[in-house]
A and B are shown apart, each in its own frame.
Chain A
Amino acid sequence: DAGVIQSPRHEVTEMGQEVTLRCKPISGHNSLFWYRQTMMRGLELLIYFNNNVPIDDSGMPEDRFSAKMPNASFSTLKIQPSEPRDSAVYFCASSSYRAANQPQHFGDGTRLSIL
């Protein structure tokens, strides 16, 4: 079975540009999570969805960040406008239930560089 699929794997763009990161969760999973990883702050939860509905977006750093999940098989994380401090690796994860006792399966991430 395919795991969590993220695209693109790498993105380099100039500050001020809009960036869209994409995620396809594992089929049948009904919870989806977006994380950001940097050397300084480690892995941070940005937002998570349950049954396509955003449950907790308290980790979204600013209004420049937005996330959507239009259906069970697709989610996007958008940054507009992007800034150099947004440079990080962004991970998407999915699980079969929103409880932490159901393991989360992570994608390989999108490495984002904002120049």
Chain B
Amino acid sequence: LAKTTQPISMDSYEGQEVNITCSHNNIATNDYITWYQQFPSQGPRFIIQGYKTKVTNEVASLFIPADRKSSTLSLPRVSLSDTAVYYCLVGDYGGLTFGKGTHLIIQP
């Protein structure tokens, strides 16, 4: 499974757009890029997934360049409730390999 690298922590303010970038230089042809969010005392929750270019859903956008060696999760107009750990994962089947994730802290 491809290894991922993402910032350990990020700070932002309510109403701002937050972009979290993940590096995955060894991504394989069949691998998808998936982002999960985890709040304290809860299991991870699926946010968004993509293979190439751009994917958007009701909560986030995912930008993937042509070489697919990185991806950027974009959270528009964050609120305090977006404070959580965000995990970037790469793989095509089986169980997921979670890294340390990015601890996002949103301040008022």
Residues of A within 8 A of B (CB): 4, 33, 35, 42-45, 47-48, 55-56, 59, 91, 93, 98-101, 103-109
Contact, CB under 8 Å: A56 / B49: no
A-B contact pairs, 9 of them (CB 8 A): A35-B95, A43-B98, A45-B95, A48-B95, A101-B32, A103-B34, A104-B46, A106-B42, A106-B43
CA distance A103 to B57 in the complex (A): 14
Q: In the complex, how many residues of chain B place their beta carbon closer than 8 angstroms to a beta carbon of chain A? A: 24
Q: How does the 8 Å CB contact mask read for B85-108 relative to A, with 1 for contact and 0 for none? A: 001010111111111110000000
Residues of A within 8 A of B45 (CB): 106
Distance of B26 from chain A, by nearest CB (Å): 15
Contact, CB under 8 Å: B94 / A56: yes
Contact, CB under 8 Å: B93 / A98: yes
Residues of B within 8 A of A106 (CB): 42-45
Given A45-B96, A100-B94, decide whether A108 and B34 contact each other with a Cβ distance below 8 A: no
Distance of A67 from chain B, by nearest CB (Å): 12
Which chain B residue has the least Cβ–Cβ distance from A106? B43
CA distance A56 to B97 in the complex (A): 13
Distance of A74 from chain B, by nearest CB (Å): 18
Contact, CB under 8 Å: A100 / B89: yes
New A-B contacts (12) at CB < 8 Å, excluding given A33-B95, A45-B97, A100-B94 = A33-B96, A42-B100, A43-B98, A56-B95, A100-B32, A100-B92, A101-B49, A101-B92, A105-B46, A106-B42, A106-B45, A109-B42
**Which 10 A-B residue pairings sit nearest by Cβ, starting from the closest?**
A106-B43, A45-B95, A43-B98, A103-B46, A100-B91, A101-B32, A48-B95, A99-B93, A91-B43, A33-B95
Q: How does the 8 Å CB contact mask read for B32-55 relative to A, with 1 for contact and 0 for none? A: 101000000111111001010000
B31, B96, B101: which has the most chain A beta carbons within 10 Å?
Answer: B96
